[in-house]
Amino acid sequence: MKNKDELLNEIEIYKKAREREKNARLQADQLLEEKTRELYLAHQELTQKYQELEKHASELELFQSLSRISQGTQTLNEVLQFLVDAICKLEKWPVGHVFLLKEGADKELVPSDIWYFDSEKDYHELHKITSDMHFEIGESLPGITLATEEPLYIEDVQNDSNYFRAKVCKNLGIRGTFCVPLKCNNKVLAIVEFFIPETHEEPTKGFSLINSFVRQLETLLERQQAQEQARESSLKLQQALVEVQQMAHHDPLTNLPNRRQFELTLKRNIASAKRYHKNLALLFVDLDNFKSINDRLGHDVGDLLLIEVGRRLQANVRTEDFVARIGGDEFAITLDSTAMEEAEVVAEKLIRSLKDPFKIANHDIIVSISIGISSFPESGSDYITLHKNADIAMYKAKELGRDNYKRFDITLETQYKKQLDIENDIDFALEKNEFFLVYQPIYDLLTKKIFGMEVLLRWQNDEHGLILPEEFIPIAEERGTIIPIGEWVLKEACIQYMKWRNEIKLDCKLLINISPRQLKDKSFLNSVVKITNETQMPLDKLEFEVTEAVLMSSPEESEDVLKKLSDLGIKIAIDDFGMGYSSLNRLKSLPISSLKIDKSFIQDIGTQGSNDLIVKSIIALAKELHIQMIAEGIEAKSQLNFLLDQNCPEGQGYYFAHPLTKNEMKKAFLENAGQFSDSSTPPKS
């Protein structure tokens, strides 16, 4: 049995062991607490870093999304919806909304349908209130943001008496609101509004990030707008180029190919015809009397007529044929693989196709055309030659009476060359003294004495010899050269008349033809007065001849001039009467002293034709109106007898005398007291 000391010793050892165990346990608890704290801190640090990484990743994804936007075709509203969704999710803000500028205004904001709501609460009341709001510039936070164009923040909207959505925000646990403008090219497009919850500890921390994102989005929008403008400009440029090409090669009125495109096409067709040994025909089509349609009905109707004529021409040729408008009232048609004889068939078809009236602006318009035809290779082997020869043939068709066609042949080229020479030389004929006058006597058919004489113009050209008036007068009329030529004729005739008057006591009337261009010339009356004064020509012996067609083409203008001439004492004769369909009222209103029956009626009288009745009627009309009557173109005894039977007082023609030179005319006055002889044939000149 252990003694007391041994027991006390064991107890002491036990106590020490317990003490060591207690100390070891305390040390273990302290170590565990330290490790736990370290683990907690490490966890906190990792959590914070994770959150930072997660936010950084979200921010990175947010900015990366800009590149996806830049590659897409989103509308502005789609971009704004993305902006609101992305920022609210990133910052964990419950609500986002966009105000847009009112359409047509830049100082008023209106709510849009662009919203973001988290799923935790019911934001219906906030949506309803906001959807009814409009802000003028400078009004409330969105309006102030529009005015300053800078981001603005209200930290506590719940206690802001000026913020009228304060109550609903308080109910929803919303503490602040943040507005940021979205601009493009320095112009505000929208105001984006974010609502910040009470639980958000540092709401302003993300503002700089948001501003940065918005600025980059603005840059992107500006770039997209610039790209869109560049695309639009490119499209407009392409469209403009197409339009320029269209305008360069097409007639703007009819939309047919124009002269330039016609030339390119014809040259290409000629090259093809040469390569493949094919025929090719060219038709020049010109509307007859188109100017008169313009003058009577106006240019608008004329333009519509040209459009319809172009359509009808196209409708009457093959689809592979080419129709172009090459001038005012001129069209050209190329017929591929077509010989001259086939082209003539086409020309006849085109002429027939225009017989039906065109119904334009309540008018039934009937037109005719003249067509000239040239062909490859017969009429030429290049563009210039074919073009020229078709043009020559077309003008020949007009000379033949219009509503006709003419194929080119070599004789036409000779005539055309002469016409060109006349056009080139006529301006200098006066200077070169190449014009001269001849005179055709007009006889009193009862007394057989010379009653008057008609002045006729002739042109002795160095190259072509004697050129008759019908060849050069139309050209002079068209070029305006007829004005100085007409003045020369009047002056020269008056000088010669006064010379005869002094030498042989001449006392008959002097008839001078006046052209349409002269009647329209404003200086004509003054010129007549000046010349007659200078030459001392007795005005009661002077008689001006104007054709019936001239009176009908511009009756009011002609009537005014003729009355002024009559007031001077100059008599007026109507030439070629019966060809212009004058009305009786027109004749009564004009100061007419004489009617000259056109020679086309005189030629066939006495042959039991209708001309007998026409001539009788004209003579009777002249007597009824107390107007002197002169028959032109008397060439046979039978014609003279018929006219004498009808009591026609005066006449002229080859039966009495051809046009005479001034010396021959003087001789005619002196011989037989100026009488004609039925048994003699007068000399020709």
Write the pLDDT tens digit of every residue in 337-349: 988 999 999 999 9
Mean pLDDT rounded to a whole number for the chain: 85
Q: What is the reported pLDDT for 51?
A: 57
Q: At what angle do helices 637-645 and 610-624 cross, to 10 degrees?
A: 40
Instruction: Reply yes or no on whether the pLDDT at 222 is more than 70.
Output: yes
Third-level CATH fold of 72-223: Beta-Lactamase (3.30.450)
Ranking 187-191, 418-422, 583-587, 593-597 by mean pLDDT, the lowest is 583-587
- Provide φ and ψ at 668, rounded to 5°: -65, -35
Tell me the pLDDT tens digit for each residue of 520-559. Answer: 899 999 999 999 999 999 999 999 999 877 776 666 777 8
Sequence letter at residue 556: E
Q: DSSP class of residue 198? A: T
Q: Can the peptide bond before residue 659 be classed as cis, meaning omega within 30 degrees of 0?
A: no
The band of 681, judged by pLDDT with boundaries at 50, 70 and 90, is very low
Q: What single string gives the DSSP state of each residue in 568-596?
A: HT-EEEEEEETSS---HHHHHHS---EEE
Q: What is the reported pLDDT for 683?
A: 44
Instruction: Reply yes or no on whether the pLDDT at 72 is more than 60.
Output: no
Place of tokens 């919203």: 115
Q: What is the reported pLDDT for 583?
A: 54
The band of 358, judged by pLDDT with boundaries at 50, 70 and 90, is very high
More confident residue, 281 or 244: 281
Q: Which residues, in sequence order, are bridge partners of residue 176?
A: 196
What is the pTM (predicted TM-score) of this model?
Answer: 0.52
Tell me the pLDDT tens digit for each residue of 565-579. Answer: 999 999 999 887 765
More confident residue, 555 or 250: 250
Enter the CATH code of domain 422-674. 3.20.20.450
Instruction: Reply yes or no on whether the pLDDT at 159 is more than 90.
Output: no
Query: Domain locations in the chain?
Result: 72-223, 259-408, 422-674
- Provide φ and ψ at 510, rounded to 5°: -115, 115
Domains 259-408 and 422-674 share a fold: no
Q: What single string gives the DSSP state of each residue in 494-517?
A: HHHHHHHHHHH---SEEEEE--HH
User: Quick one: which of 80, 153, 83 has its CA closest to 111?
Assistant: 80
Instruction: Reply yes or no on whether the pLDDT at 11 is more than 60.
Output: yes
Third-level CATH fold of 259-408: Alpha-Beta Plaits (3.30.70)
The residues, any chain, with a CB within 8 Å of residue 115's CB and separated by 6 or more, are 84, 95, 96, 97, 98, 127
The band of 611, judged by pLDDT with boundaries at 50, 70 and 90, is confident
Q: What is the reported pLDDT for 680?
A: 45
Helix boundaries (H) for 99-255: 124-131, 140-148, 166-171, 207-249
